[in-house]
């Protein structure tokens, strides 16, 4: 409930720079989940609640392929969070190496998506068998690493990989504070738009489907540089009086 409470009590809109990056990453999340669901065994890459339910369902139905795919996605996501958190540590936007560490994690995510794109292009579509399992697990790993990045943006309640708390925060904020959280609404719309684009690509341009999250990661990395704090400078989102 901590994330939900933070989302509901957010004092104001997110800074435009981080929000733009979060929007690009959210579009990538929606596309990746659609690609995984339709092309990689019917599981999600970032919605671990859904994967836990699918894991239980597969056990109850003795559906071993679905169980393996769901378990692989869950394990991949956990490994991604662990790895991303290890690289970034306690660094936040005021840390002189924050930008470099975030770029390393997002760069690794980009490599995973580029690898997927290459495989899909060579195979003229999604892989099968063991490769399909590996792609699902690695896509979930990328989403886990992205989750580790977003927690360092310094925006309470911000998420680009799971959205139940975001939706709850929007509704709770409307009831409690009588305010529309337009930044969170933008992210909710972005995950839908990303999923729509990913689903369309899987149906109409299957070999190129992973190009969407790959391109969005390139855009995010390009937009990260202006937000990276250089040594000797204050944090970019600090109050105006604190910046001098």
Q: What is the pLDDT of residues 161-199, one digit of tens each?
A: 888 888 888 898 889 888 888 888 999 999 999 999 999
Write out 64-98 in H/E/C secondary structure. HHHHHHHHHHHHHHHHHHHHHHHHHCCCCCCCCCH
Q: Supply the mean pLDDT for the chain.
A: 86
Looking at the domain assignment, is residue 204 inside a domain? Answer: yes
Does any domain span residue 123? yes
**How far is the C-alpha of 46 from the C-alpha of 166, rounded, in Å?**
14
Q: How confident is the model at residue 62 (pLDDT cuts 50, 70, 90)?
A: very high
With respect to residue 11, please indicate whether it lies within any of the assigned structural domains: yes
Q: How confident is the model at residue 233 (pLDDT cuts 50, 70, 90)?
A: very low
Residue ranges making up the domain that contains 166: 2-226
Average pLDDT over residues 75-80: 97
List the one residue out of 25, 209, 220 whose CA is nearest residue 118. 209
So what's the pLDDT on residue 230?
44
In this prediction the pTM is: 0.84
Higher local confidence (pLDDT), 236 or 114: 114
Domain count, the chain: 1
Tokens 């580790």, residue located: 148
| 137-162 residue pLDDT tens | 999 999 999 999 988 887 777 888 88
Has residue 231 been placed in a domain? no
Residues contacting 230, CB < 8 A, separation 6+ = 96
Whether residue 236 is contained in a domain is answered as: no
Q: Is the pLDDT of residue 42 over 80?
A: yes
- Per-residue DSSP letter, 153: S
| Cα–Cα distance measured from residue 148 to residue 227, given in angstroms and rounded to the nearest whole number | 17
Residue of higher predicted confidence among 240 and 68 = 68
Q: How far apart are the first and last CA of the chain?
A: 37
d(C-alpha 217, C-alpha 214), whole Å: 5
Question: Has residue 236 got a pLDDT over 60?
Answer: no
pLDDT of residue 84: 94
Confirm whether 171 is domain-assigned.
yes
For residue 182, being part of any structural domain is answered with yes
Give which of 3, 46, 31 is closest to 145, Cα–Cα.
46
Q: Is residue 158 part of a domain?
A: yes
């Amino acid at each position: 409930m901590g994330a939900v409470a933070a989302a509901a009590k957010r004092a104001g809109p997110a800074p435009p720079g981080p929000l733009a990056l979060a929007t690009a990453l959210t579009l990538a999340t929606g596309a990746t989940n659609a690609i995984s669901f339709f092309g990689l065994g019917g599981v999600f890459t970032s919605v671990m609640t859904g994967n836990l339910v699918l894991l239980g369902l597969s056990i109850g139905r003795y559906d071993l392929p679905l169980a393996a795919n769901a378990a692989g996605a869950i394990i991949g996501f956990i490994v991604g969070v662990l790895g991303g958190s290890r690289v970034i540590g306690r660094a936040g936007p005021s840390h002189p190496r924050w930008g470099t560490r975030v770029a390393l994690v997002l760069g690794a995510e980009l490599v995973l998506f580029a690898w997927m794109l290459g495989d899909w292009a060579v195979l003229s579509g999604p892989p099968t068998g063991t490769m399909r399992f590996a792609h699902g697990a690695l896509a979930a790993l990328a989403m886990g690493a992205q989750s580790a990045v977003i927690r360092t943006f310094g925006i309470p309640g911000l998420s680009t990989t799971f959205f139940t708390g975001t939706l709850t925060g929007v509704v709770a904020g409307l009831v409690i504070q009588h305010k529309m959280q337009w930044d969170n609404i933008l992210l909710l719309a972005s995950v839908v738009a990303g999923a729509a684009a990913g689903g369309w690509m899987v149906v109409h341009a299957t070999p190129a489907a992973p190009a969407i999250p790959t391109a969005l990661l390139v855009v995010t990395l390009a937009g990260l540089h202006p937000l990276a704090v250089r040594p000797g400078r204050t944090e970019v989102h600090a109050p105006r009086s604190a910046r001098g």
